[in-house]
Structure 1
Amino acid sequence: MSDHSKTRRSFLKGAAIAAGAYLAPKRVLAAQSRGSAVVVGAGAFGGWSALQLLRSGMKVTLVDTWGPGNARSTSGGESRIVRVTYGPKRIYAEMAVKALRLWQEYEKDFKVKLFNKCGMLWFVSENDSYEQAALPLLREFGVTFEQLSPTECASRWPQMRFDDVAWGLYEPNAGFLYARRACDAVFAAFLREGGEYRQAEAIPGSISSGRMEDVKLSSGETLKADQYVFACGPWLGKVFPFMDSLIKPTRQEVFFFGTEAGDTRFDASNQPVWIDNGQWIFYGFPNSDGRGFKMANDARGPLIDPTTHNRRISTEQLELAREYLRLRFPDLAGAPLIDSKVCQYESAPRDRFIIDRHPEAQNVLVAGGGSGHGFKHGPVVGEFVRDAVLDVKAPPAEMSFAESFKNRAR
């Protein structure tokens, strides 16, 4: 282990102890009997994959250029929505049901609050085919939901306007995840249970006889393992050029508006997370921990380089956000902007994840394409990756490279 890695790991463990979070190992295995793995990327997909592989009995080294939940990553930031409504997409609805259960179990395991059950409201337009397609799946999976008229919505949440809304779809058991906190919690569990970590850029090694030989780090170190997992989000197209046409990093702007002193209408105790699936395609979060009322435009922005892009908000997107506030949240139309972020989606064809073996290296698994809805699925994706690496079960066929290239051509 390099001196830098030792120092960072000691610091992280020390910080965890100081915060009362460093617990006695619960799952450290006396003997690693399932080989070794290197996981590149410590975000929602990579962090969970590393932890699941470690708990399965593998010796695991996790690598990330800037650390879990960093500001350049797709998994960084304050919060992510958890919802089960996925239109007709059965596999993602089923995954979301399981993920929501797992997040609540891991809250107890990690002893860290990860999930805020404030509810989830869809503003449904006259063209409601997406929501209508979701209803049979919600019933099948036993998800609690309500179909509300605009009048019922306005009575329950008078701080919002529903003049142009056909009806509301409400999931009371949904809500949001504390994203950066969750990345840190998974990372802390990985370290205390015996995982190794390197903070460096990872470069795939040569491929020979259908296997990758190693991974080279920017620190000069070379890592060798039996299996390699690349879950490096918007950088996948750079790491593997054959994926450049599949992974599209797009610029997405996020705004936080301040509420008036003493006004709790927009706090998580009174305000659900929401998605407007009509003309606007905005989504947002209640004020939590004093961060402000968060909202963003879900429309895909221009392509960016996630490493070098200057993350300054645009006047155009800010004005569009305020225009939407005037329509839906008029009491916030003049609210001060108290924070803002420029992040990115890593969009894949038809917004489907990619979890599959590298076409030329059978000891390499790729996990990516979160497409703006991946974070909530992290615990389930980690299980998919674990089972694939151990040859227990192949990932869903819908997430194969073959499907991704086929969908790209549509």
Structure 2
Amino acid sequence: MSPSSGGAPRIVVVGAGAFGGWTALMLRRAGAEVTLIDAWGPGHARASSSGETRVIRGTYGDRAIYTHMAARAMQLWQAHDEASQRRFFHPVGAIWIFSGNESFGEASVGPMRDAGLAVEWLDPDEARARWPHINVEGVSRVLWEPGAGYALARRACEHVVETLVAEGGHYVTAQVRPVEDLDGPLSALALEDGTSVKADGFVFACGPWLGTVLPDVVGGRVRPSRQESFYFGTPAGDARWLPPDMPVWLDYGDRMYYGIPGNANRGFKVADDTYGATFDPTHGDRAHTPEMLAEARTFLRRRFPALADAPLLGSEVCQYELTSDSHFLVDRHPHAGNAWIVGGGSGHGFKMGPAIGEYVTRLVLEQGESAPEFRLGNR
């Protein structure tokens, strides 16, 4: 991208979640002058990147593009941890529990090994020997991914923005007005306080708000969905439910439940990955429903019977931002060549933050073209 007034290109990034924060940081490290804008702040409670933890794994069936991106993201997470002397990525391993249909796991193995990710099949007896506190009745096989784990979500978003500012970038808390009816390059963003921000290039990484910020281009192509998570209390001093005795787990059946051990000391996390109803991320009620809690307890009783009567410590309602095919949306604005749209994490995007940041930085600064899977026209 060529700057309009000489010197480094000026880039505005809208959204300080996993995609936007990392993109802003990578752009800054590539030499751009960067301003990052968010309406409520990094890791805020309404964001899809909020909460304590997110799963990091490389299992993606035959969607090899994501397996390779996840492998790169893990490298970048580890490099960030080493440079900052902090620990945001916890590679505690992950298990996929299959009860009959193993096709997703089978399709994942080849791309994972191609990407350099370790993976191993276990039969039920082997799984029971390693994790006797998991009930494997009815389980056909378990896929073990030792290099997977989880990341600290809210804390990582905050730290990425802190790092951006420390390295010379700018962060602003502000609400961006909708951008529509463009018929050429975008020169400035209007803010709700009446001011505007000028730049040479723009990245819209607004998560579930992409459709409202870009109503005529994105609109309903990204749907926010209501997702509930629950946190249960384990017995005092019982280390079975913490790493290394307990990995990240994903139960692949008629519905997919998943969980994260310890969950930053907040409780044993149980969440249903099934896409929920359309949700208003700004004004939606974030209290859990009794029905979803009952279903989570039923699952807990079956798969982790020792926790059948565990007390509920807390719950959380967040949202995914879904595309029609769950592929990411990374593409140039169709009417403004200097603006990029980055989102559609679809419930699996957080882990990819640093790799997306690296990827988008190349697209923006080198005027590249995104992968076909990510393009706006596919939705």
Residue number in structure 2 paired with 1:91: 65
2:29 equivalent among 55, 60, 70: 55
1:249 equivalent among 204, 220, 224: 224
Amino acid across the alignment from 2:96: W
Superposition map of 1:118-197 within 5 A: 118-197=92-171
With over 3 angstroms needed to count, the CA separation of the structure-2 counterparts of 1:222 and 1:167, relative to structure 1, is: same
With over 3 angstroms needed to count, the CA separation of the structure-2 counterparts of 1:215 and 1:266, relative to structure 1, is: same
With over 3 angstroms needed to count, the CA separation of the structure-2 counterparts of 1:247 and 1:209, relative to structure 1, is: closer
1:277 equivalent among 252, 261, 265: 252
Q: Offset at 1:185?
A: 1.3
1:385 equivalent among 335, 338, 360: 360
With over 3 angstroms needed to count, the CA separation of the structure-2 counterparts of 1:324 and 1:215, relative to structure 1, is: same
> TM-score, normalized by length of structure 1?
0.89
Q: Offset at 1:184?
A: 1.1
Amino acid across the alignment from 2:314: D
- Using the alignment, how far apart are the partners of 2:155 and 2:320 within structure 1? 19
1:396 equivalent among 366, 371, 375: 371
Residue number in structure 2 paired with 1:315: 290
Amino acid across the alignment from 1:278: G
> TM-score, normalized by length of structure 2?
0.96
2:266 equivalent among 291, 314, 319: 291
Q: Alpha-carbon deviations, 1:161-196, whole Å to 9, x = none?
A: 111111000011110001111101111110011111
- Using the alignment, how far apart are the partners of 1:300 and 1:289 within structure 2? 25
Report which stretch shifted further, 155-164 or 107-116: 107-116
**Does the alignment pair 1:232 with 2:224?**
no
- Using the alignment, how far apart are the partners of 1:308 and 1:256 within structure 2? 24
Report which stretch shifted further, 283-292 or 358-367: 283-292
1:190 alignment partner, SS class: helix
Amino acid across the alignment from 1:100: M
- Using the alignment, how far apart are the partners of 1:379 and 1:59 within structure 2? 19
Q: Alpha-carbon deviations, 1:283-330, whole Å to 9, x = none?
A: 001014421101100011110110000100000000000000111001
Task: List runs of 5+ in structure 2 lacking aligned partners.
Answer: 1-5
1:349 alignment partner, SS class: coil
Identity %: 45
Residue number in structure 2 paired with 1:8: none
> 1:205 touches 1:214 (CA, 8 Å); kept in 2?
no
Residue number in structure 2 paired with 1:65: 39
Q: Alpha-carbon deviations, 1:85-106, whole Å to 9, x = none?
A: 1100010000011111110001
Q: Offset at 1:205?
A: 5.0
Q: Offset at 1:240?
A: 1.3
Q: How many pairs does the alignment contain?
A: 374
The higher-RCO structure (CA 8 Å, 6+ apart) is 2
1:256 alignment partner, SS class: strand
> 1:211 touches 1:360 (CA, 8 Å); kept in 2?
yes
- Using the alignment, how far apart are the partners of 2:21 and 2:218 within structure 1? 21
2:174 equivalent among 194, 200, 204: 200
- Using the alignment, how far apart are the partners of 1:195 and 1:139 within structure 2? 38
RMSD: 1.5
Amino acid across the alignment from 2:330: I
> 1:231 touches 1:366 (CA, 8 Å); kept in 2?
yes
With over 3 angstroms needed to count, the CA separation of the structure-2 counterparts of 1:153 and 1:207, relative to structure 1, is: same
Amino acid across the alignment from 1:262: G
> 1:207 touches 1:213 (CA, 8 Å); kept in 2?
no
2:55 alignment partner, SS class: strand
